Chains A and B, each alone.
Chain A
Amino acid sequence: TQLLEQSPQFLSIQEGENLTVYCNSSSVFSSLQWYRQEPGEGPVLLVTVVTGGEVKKLKRLTFQFGDARKDSSLHITAAQPGDTGLYLCAGEGLGSGNTGKLIFGQGTTLQVKP
């Protein structure tokens, strides 16, 4: 069974600080997606990484896929209160075919205080 371990589970920081969220597995994934979920809403896709070592940037957010495609990280620079939410990583297993089936990490709840 493929698992994704996400850390930390909770993060409370002041506005302007930097932070990194990690998503780790012992298994290889075809691709990895990051979602953000705000209270009362469903998760919304932020980014998909596909190639080992790939780095993608979305404004102040930097996403990296590990060289071996077993892990990923999300780094936020100068966090703002609007970044508050639940961050979820989700991996597409090698054998998932065209099912679209994803394996989700436990999530990281981020609170950015003004």
Chain B
Amino acid sequence: DVKVTQSSRYLVKRTGEKVFLECVQDMDHENMFWYRQDPGLGLRLIYFSYDVKMKEKGDIPEGYSVSREKKERFSLILESASTNQTSMYLCASSLVGGWNSPLHFGNGTRLTVT
């Protein structure tokens, strides 16, 4: 079974802090994704990566950056946290693209910025 592990279930940070969210997958998947989930808005893609050191912006990349130095690890960085970044953050991975390669999600990190 694929396992996607997010390092923290809950985080509370202050406005202006630099925040790191870590995600590790154990199935040698090529693609990794960061989504944020807000009520009534579904999942919105922040960034994704299809290879080590490769990254592409998703639909809402402003205020975020990512790092993928190793294939199994994909980090989301909030350069200067703001209250509007309070949300549930979900990491996901997939073997490759296409319909026969579904997303496998972690259990999420609920971030509160005060």
Point out residues on A near B: beta carbons under 8 Å. 4, 6, 9, 30-31, 33, 35, 40-45, 48, 50, 88, 90, 92, 96-102, 104-107
- The total of chain B residues at the interface (CB under 8 A) is 29
Contact B48 A48 (CB under 8 A): no
- The answer to whether the Cβ of B43 comes within 8 Å of any Cβ in the partner chain is yes
Q: Which residues of A contact B35 (CB under 8 A)?
A: 104
Task: Specify which of A4, A33, A42 is in contact with B90 (CB 8 Å cutoff).
Answer: A42
The residue of chain B having its C-beta at the shortest distance from the C-beta of A10 within the complex is B40
B68 to chain A, nearest CB (A): 14
- The answer to whether the Cβ of B103 comes within 8 Å of any Cβ in the partner chain is yes
Inter-chain CA distance A44–B90, complex, in Å, is 12
Point out residues on B near A: beta carbons under 8 Å. 4, 31, 33, 35, 40-45, 48, 50, 56, 58, 90, 92, 94, 96-103, 105-108
Q: Which residues of B contact A6 (CB under 8 A)?
A: 42
Contact B31 A100 (CB under 8 A): yes
Q: Which residues of A contact B102 (CB under 8 A)?
A: 33, 45, 48
Inter-chain CA distance A31–B50, complex, in Å, is 19
Contact A42 B107 (CB under 8 A): yes
Contact A31 B41 (CB under 8 A): no
Contact B105 A44 (CB under 8 A): yes
Contact B97 A96 (CB under 8 A): yes
A34 to chain B, nearest CB (A): 10
Query: Known contacts A45-B102, A96-B97: does B107 contact A104 (CB below 8 Å)?
Result: no
